[in-house]
Structure 1
Amino acid sequence: MSRKTKLAATSVAALAAAATVAVPATPAMAWTAGPVTANLSGTMTINAGVAATCTSSTLGGTIATNGALSITSASVGGCGVTVTPQALPWSGSLSGGVATLSGFRMSAIGCSYGGSLTGSYSGADNLPVTVTFTNQTVNKVSGLFCPSSATITATYVFS
């Protein structure tokens, strides 16, 4: 092998090795773990035969790097009746554009409704994101003379 051929082969091998080292694997998208607050954007509609429109709501808790949520505090106001979040903490997740809340439960005028909410979120896999739950059905958990289910529509900004 000539000196030029050896030099060319060595140079190609060195460039290939450098390129292999210089191109690291791309890590999976991850959320920044820590506290999270979600504020109602617009209004929340709770419809159990008669629609109630709420003007304020805040959720608080934590998010993990995999998007797992733990909601440990919740408040709702401006509904015309007292609405009380119950059975905290609620669990959930933000993953692949899908938002979920499990263990969701609220009561008003002697009726309690609960279940899971599934919606969507817009924004990157990092906060803030806007989460929208549209016409999510929750079933009656307790109460006399209460409709068997209610629907929830709300948009929150998680930050």
Structure 2
Amino acid sequence: MSRVTKLAAITAVSAAAVALTATPAWADNWTNGPFTATANSSSLVVKVGGTTVATCSGSTLTGNMTDTGAFSVTGATATGCGVTVTPTGFPWSGSFTSGTTQINGFKMSALGCTYTGNLSGSYTEPAPPAIVTFTDQPVTGSGLFCVSNVTVSVTYVFTQP
């Protein structure tokens, strides 16, 4: 084996070892503990068939974050919606992975209907504050006289104390 080939092989093995032992970028930015996500100025928008039927002036999520990007939503609010909107079914699980944020088990009740779904959005930064945008995410309604083709859009800013 030539000296150049040996040097290239050593460099490749060293790079692989560093890649395998490096701490994920997420862990450098977040800590295990509480988080708060506050809706920005776009707030929480509910559409039926593409037509906006409700815009809430405020929304928050609270819960616990891990340094790996997994989180649990243990509380939520939706205010200024024109009707009473009640988040339920906690905890909701979530994760930040490769530019995508997922919230599973999303559940809110309004006007005698309960809307559930899994929200998938994108984030701008793996470090706090992380801006997460969910756009036209479908939710399914259950209850008497619930409408179908409902979507939820919201942008949250995730922070830690």
Q: Do these two structures clear the TM 0.5 threshold for a shared fold by scoring above it?
A: yes
Distance 1:145 1:48 in 2: 14
Distance 1:63 1:45 in 2: 25
In the TM superposition, 1:57-72 aligns within 5 A as: 57-72=59-74
Q: Deviations over 1:110-146 (max 9, x none)?
A: 11110100000011x2211000000000111x21111
**1:27 equivalent in alignment to 2:23:** yes
Contact 1:93 1:101 in 2 (8 A): yes
Aligned to 1:122: 124
The runs of 5 or more residues in structure 1 that have no matched partner are 1-19
The residue type equivalent to 1:135 in the other structure is D
Deviation of the 1:103 alpha carbon: 0.5
Mean CA deviation greater in 24-33 or 111-120: 24-33
Contact 1:137 1:149 in 2 (8 A): yes
Aligned to 1:89: 91
Instruction: Tell me how many residue pairs correspond in the alignment.
Output: 137
Aligned to 1:146: 146
Distance 1:84 1:98 in 2: 26
Deviation of the 1:26 alpha carbon: 3.7
Structure 1 runs of 4+ aligned residues shifted over 6 Å read: none
The residue type equivalent to 1:38 in the other structure is A
Deviation of the 1:149 alpha carbon: 3.8
Q: Which has the larger radius of gyration?
A: 1
Aligned to 1:134: 135
Pairwise CA RMSD of aligned residues?
1.9
Distance 2:91 2:100 in 1: 20
Q: Deviations over 1:55-97 (max 9, x none)?
A: 1011000111110010000011001000000101100101211
**1:37 equivalent in alignment to 2:36:** yes
Distance 1:52 1:28 in 2: 39
Contact 1:113 1:149 in 2 (8 A): no
Distance 2:63 2:155 in 1: 17
Give the share of equivalent positions with the same residue, in percent.
48
